[in-house]
Structure 1
Amino acid sequence: MENILIRGVNWLGDAVMSLPAVRAIRKLHPTSNISILIKEKIADLFRWENTIDEVIIYSEGFTGKIKTIKELKNKKFKRAYLLQNALDAALITTVAGIPERVGWNRDCRRIFLTHPVPYHGEDRKIHHIDYFFEIPKRFNPSLLPDYPWINPSLKERLSARKELKNLKRPILALSPGAKYGDTKKWEAEKFIEVSKKFIGEYGSVVLFGSQGEDLEIKDSGIYNFIGKTSLRELICLLAECDILLCNDSGIMHLGYALGVPLVAIFGSTSPELTGPPKFAGKVIRAQVECSPCFKNRCPDIKCMKSIEVEDVWSALNEIIPSKKAVFFDRDGTLCKDANYLSKWEDFEVFPFIETLKELKNLGFLLIGISNQSGIARGIIREDFVKEVNQFFIDKYGFDDFFYCPHHPDERCFCRKPNPGMPLIARYKYGIDFRNSYVVGDKDIDMQLAQMIGAKGILISKDAKNLKEVVEIIKRDINA
């Protein structure tokens, strides 16, 4: 088995944006042992990453680098992918004797690269996700970047949920800091004003950030985690929040990667280069001529001062998750499980499916979520899956239908019990998971309900049929 090394990046936001590149490298080397060399401060991000077999901590200083070189030598890596731009990354992997070294041809390191990726000034004008992704893409141009999801374990999600259980919902996560400098920070007084408005009209506020980024605001509706969490704890707590308000920062990248709807404030930097995906929330950016300037210092910071509380408050109100939904598994729940349903003659809907329209009258969205690994296995045509899903939309009033086409070995984020499909639905429809349900016939459906904090209804145990599912939900809302 070959050993492959990835030299990861040093900053939290960059690390999140590099995740699609990391996963593409796994696709290039599906059977290899893949290690990532990373600084301790962001190592926890990759300890969750199921495409990585080993996390190696980069030791700083002269003696630390010698230690790192020795460790890399002992592991006999065949190839190193250098996502970090620095000369140091190329030099260390060369001295460690790694025969193949891949990276951008920049920062005076051409002599150390066996597979240089041509670099032009225009390459830094694309989104950073695409920038990092260009490195593995050179070996397979057909590769496409996936979404940089982060997936904490169920155990850790439940622990964080317990930590926040006494807070009134919805919970606004608020992060007023940014490592880059003051030009990326909205004014503290305005963050405080938004916090007070949110507590007064909606729920609770939790503060996240590093030591020294505190807003110094006292209110019973605020839970202050600034400087009190590890990265791992921060990620789990943030995943349990309902909405995020932040600057262009590492926490912003964590937020959209966790599926938390967000409002991100941009001043000196560009959302085209480092911003969240458009469907992940709202970007509020300065409307001044000098923005983006990419400076970390400025005498007056006109860009941030030009953004008013009303602008941010309006954006928050637009994306607060407020709709309720019932997520339905398909095969074995809505229709007969034909063991990889692949033709219409085997399609048979279950009795009482018409009763689901009662849920629509009660204000619920009906959303299908189905694992369809038969597509990847070559057993089912993807267009047939789409046709069946569309049937439920057209005939029974479903609002949407999501499916995972991947093989289990692909380690994707959308395959149940992973929460990718409901999180995309939350982004799309503004769904409040705490007032929603997951209905299915398998344990993975109930695990999914736990992952997102919804209520689970297991067919054959909690309810015998779809009519009983409707009755359970009606009793709940009338209780």
Structure 2
Amino acid sequence: MPYRILIIAPAWVGDSVMAQPLYRRLKHYRPDAHITVLAPDWTLPLLDRMPEVDATARNPFGHGALQMGARWRLGKSLRGQFDQVIVLPNSLKSALVPWFAKIPKRTGFVGESRYGLLNDARQLDKQALPQMVERFAILAESAGAPLPRPIEPPLLRIDPASRQAALAALGLSEAKPVAAFCPGAEFGPAKRWPAAHFAELAQALIAKGYAVWLFGSAKDQPETSAIAKLAGTAAAGNLVDLAGRTSLAQAIDLLSIAKVVVTNDSGLMHVAAALQRPVVALYGSSSPTFTPPLTELAEIVSLQLDCSPCFKRQCPLGHFNCMQQMHSGMVEAAIDRLLARDHHIRLQAI
């Protein structure tokens, strides 16, 4: 009989990627574990690409929605199906379904005073565990046990047939090396490198023979449209705006083709890192100490101003210097350093 584990997964794409090392450790400690992940619809394509996940279930509750009756009904429908649940979000609401489901072992951080809902409640030491991936991974350990390091990074698997289907569906070609730009950031504009800087970098990379693909959701279309417009006629035929045109599944498959990914601190940054693509990550209002790209093939670009990281959605000082003063030449130099390192690593592997 397998040891049946339910994971209450995060709602953010980046956090969903960073949870994978936890799943890997659970499988390592309990080879008989059967892992089911309860997650929002938009993160399911990520879970489909994680070999450690045996099954998924749809989490129907939107951000902030209590819906006590619906949570009780879902919990009741899960009774008797699991031996343990690990609750990754720290909200009170996220612990209700496992409690209603009467799952024998309910693991998670105390969070919003969840002592009554979790019977394996842990205290989070933020200084000992500065990174989000560490805070997830330690929940595979016994209460009070230290976190074994290093943590293996997330790794998403790609089906070549699915990737070819995505290329065909979008009319894309691999004839030129692809520079993928991810100019969005769900948290807010303070995490976004300006469109004018992205456009300047696009012009420079196209002059070097690259094709530039812009990734993002429909919400990012104003940003990607501005980049395409500012890049001008020199980018015609070599810059493709994919924002709002792909599913997350297609975006994952297409990002796996990129020779380099230039990205804000966002969910797609973590996807690109988990695809083992060379990543140049741009940080202003947020910190690479907390949520870095989890790959050796990464270059962090940050001005490290006195006012950053502020972790605000909008620049509280009104000048946005942490991103405005990060000119495209700095990022282009980071790309050159990163690709030289990638080439060296590949030569050593031969």
Q: Secondary structure at the match of 2:179?
A: strand
Matched, 1:109 2:114: yes
Residues 58, 65 of structure 1: 8 Å contact kept = no
Q: Secondary structure at the match of 1:129?
A: helix
Inter-partner Cα distance in structure 2 for 1:67 and 1:300: 49
Inter-partner Cα distance in structure 2 for 1:281 and 1:161: 25
What is the TM-score of this pair, normalised by structure 1?
0.64
Matched, 1:304 2:311: no
Residue type matched to 1:289 in 2? D
Structure 1 equivalent of residue 203 of structure 2: 196
Q: Secondary structure at the match of 1:223?
A: strand
| Selected match of 1:76 from 81, 99, 103 | 81
1:85-115 CA deviation, whole Å, 9 max, x = no partner?
1111222211111121011122111221111
- Work out the number of aligned pairs and report it: 329
1:206–1:65 CA distance, 2 compared to 1 (3 A) = same
Structure 2 equivalent of residue 338 of structure 1: none
1:312-364 CA deviation, whole Å, 9 max, x = no partner?
11112223479889x9xxxxxxxxxxxxxxxxxxxxxxxxxxxxxxxxxxxxx
| Selected match of 2:213 from 206, 209, 217 | 206
| Selected match of 1:183 from 190, 194, 198 | 190
Structure 2 equivalent of residue 295 of structure 1: 312
Inter-partner Cα distance in structure 1 for 2:342 and 2:58: 43
Larger radius of gyration between Structure 1 and Structure 2:
1
Deviating above 3 A after TM superposition, structure 1's stretches of 4 or more consecutive aligned residues are: 139-144, 160-165, 320-325
1:135–1:198 CA distance, 2 compared to 1 (3 A) = same
Structure 1 equivalent of residue 162 of structure 2: 156
1:322–1:148 CA distance, 2 compared to 1 (3 A) = closer
Structure 1 equivalent of residue 58 of structure 2: 57
Matched, 1:132 2:136: yes
Residue type matched to 1:153 in 2? D
Inter-partner Cα distance in structure 2 for 1:322 and 1:31: 39
Gaps of 5+ in 2: 230-235
Matched, 1:240 2:250: no
1:321–1:227 CA distance, 2 compared to 1 (3 A) = farther
Structure 2 equivalent of residue 456 of structure 1: none
Inter-partner Cα distance in structure 1 for 2:195 and 2:134: 33
CA RMSD of aligned residues (A): 2.4
Inter-partner Cα distance in structure 1 for 2:10 and 2:241: 29
1:67-97 CA deviation, whole Å, 9 max, x = no partner?
4223322x52111011221111222211111
Q: Secondary structure at the match of 2:289?
A: helix
Matched, 1:250 2:267: yes
1:140-190 CA deviation, whole Å, 9 max, x = no partner?
757552120111223213334555753542110011110010110011111
Residue type matched to 1:81 in 2? I
Inter-partner Cα distance in structure 1 for 2:47 and 2:339: 30
Inter-partner Cα distance in structure 2 for 1:323 and 1:117: 40
Structure 1 equivalent of residue 21 of structure 2: 20
| Selected match of 1:221 from 224, 238, 256 | 238
1:436-470 CA deviation, whole Å, 9 max, x = no partner?
xxxxxxxxxxxxxxxxxxxxxxxxxxxxxxxxxxx
Inter-partner Cα distance in structure 2 for 1:138 and 1:38: 24
Q: Secondary structure at the match of 1:132?
A: helix
Inter-partner Cα distance in structure 2 for 1:164 and 1:282: 30
Structure 1 equivalent of residue 102 of structure 2: 97
The offset of 1:204, in angstroms, is 0.4
Structure 1 equivalent of residue 232 of structure 2: none
Residues 242, 321 of structure 1: 8 Å contact kept = no
Inter-partner Cα distance in structure 2 for 1:114 and 1:130: 21
Inter-partner Cα distance in structure 1 for 2:295 and 2:41: 31
Residues 167, 254 of structure 2: 8 Å contact kept = yes
Inter-partner Cα distance in structure 1 for 2:6 and 2:343: 44
Residue type matched to 1:185 in 2? R
The offset of 1:287, in angstroms, is 2.9
What is the TM-score of this pair, normalised by structure 2?
0.87
Inter-partner Cα distance in structure 1 for 2:260 and 2:342: 14
Inter-partner Cα distance in structure 2 for 1:51 and 1:135: 16
Gaps of 5+ in 1: 328-364, 366-398, 402-479
> Kindly, what percent of the aligned residue pairs are identical?
28
RCO comparison, higher one (Cα < 8 Å, 6+): 2
